Amino acid sequence: MQKLLQLVHPTAAATLPALAVVALVFLATARGPAFHDAHRSAVVSRSSGSWRPRVETTSAAAAAVARRVPKGCDIFRGEWVPDDGEDAAGAAPYYTNLSCPLIQEHQNCMKYGRPDRGFLRWRWRPDGCELPRFEAAAFLDAVRNTSLAFVGDSIARNHMQSLMCLLSKVAYPKDISKTSHPDFRTLHYESHNFTLAIFWSPFLVRANQSDHGDRLWHLHLDEPDRAWVAGIAGFDRVILSAANWFNRPSVFHEAGRVVGCHNCQVPGVPELSREHSLRMAFRTVLHSLSSDAVGFNGTVIVRTLSPTSHFEGGEWNKGGDCRRTRPYAANETRMAGLDLDFHTAQVEEFARAKAAAQAAGRATRLVLMDTMTAMLLRPDGHPSRYGHWPHEKVTLYNDCVHWCLPGPIDVWNEMLLQMLLTDSL
């Protein structure tokens, strides 16, 4: 592994597979080209011999010998501590923009000149135990002969791309998608018969946007989004996440009628909270997944939201930015406002669905992946303005929603690996 972080300069960048632009949740006004273009580029270049990743061999017993957290340790509560690694220069990241060609452009902070590297030299330490570093061989061994789907918005895609970069030390997948749609990709790690997929569904429920001037979103809060329902049945595990898109002006529908809205300014339509729409969407989707209504009988992993509160100096569209260079200490901030409302709704709806599934004796398992506390402390881990070249004329705002790759989001997969190894999944 490289011990020093490196930048791809403009001339060198042209030789790497480029990951096409996808819209930032609410930071951009238009969706960009396909997610799969970069992955397809990597596959094509590997098959043609023009680019080949350096991978390590893996043992079938890797998961058996991997380090595990002690039983009973809550890996979701803790603090960020300096990661000094093996030398004074600090711990090396798992990958860089040179070693992983699958980093989305807007999250490729190293390529686009982020000047500080200190944000990469912190590790998450749970209260009462140590969280082992990610082991790609152990992860692939743990998911051998299984499948995992990400369902959600561009933060779900951010999470999946972090995982793919972490696994690239051992293997690269083959694109086996049955559709050309850029937001629905299925990838297969042949060496371990592991299938990975992404389903774009930023509201989780059925949603459509008005064609006329107001451009309001219409959310059918009691109907799961058919875009992912149609393909989820055969998967062993699904990671479900959504939050940021519920900030958009929307009209809420239930049982075929309008029940309220958020910031719609439509006469006669009552104003309801964003928390209400998110809560009802999770209630609908978790019930559908755990009641065999959509033919799913695997494990549902509910990942709590990524913070919406890291903008400073203004709102997201009014000059807000995130220029901090180190994490908060555990006592420097707390969950509040919309973050607290959304998190509370997700945790309560998860508990409600899990209790109902257990009472009914259903086969589907529900597991909470509560990453919110850890990420609330990392305002330093976002791309900010380092998702494009300074001279480029772009319409994007400072990104304080997504996460740099490599970056703090990699801890989600350290946590996911421990969940697999301790059989909570």
Catalytic annotation, residues? 154, 399, 402
- Phi then psi for residue 190, to 5 deg, are -60, -35
Cα 239 to Cα 354: distance, rounded to the nearest angstrom: 15
**Spatial separation of the C-alpha atoms in residues 112 and 115, rounded to whole Å:** 9
At which residue do the structure tokens 């996440």 appear? 241
CA angle centred on 134, ends 131 and 135, rounded to 5°: 130
Find, among 78, 196, 158, 199, the residue nearest to 409 by Cα.
Answer: 158
Distance, in Å, from the CA atom of 6 to the CA atom of 104, rounded to the nearest integer, reads 17
219 Cβ contact list (under 8 Å, min separation 6): 203, 205, 206, 207, 250, 251, 252, 253, 277, 281
Ramachandran area for residue 292 (φ above 0: left; ψ -120 to 50: alpha; else beta): left
Exposed / middle / buried, residue 356 (Cβ in 10 Å: 0-12, 13-18, 19+)? middle
Helices H / strands E in the chain, number of each: 10, 13
Can you tell me the distance from the alpha carbon of 42 to that of 36, in angstroms, rounded to the nearest whole number?
A: 10
- CA nearest to 367, candidates 380, 383, 353: 353
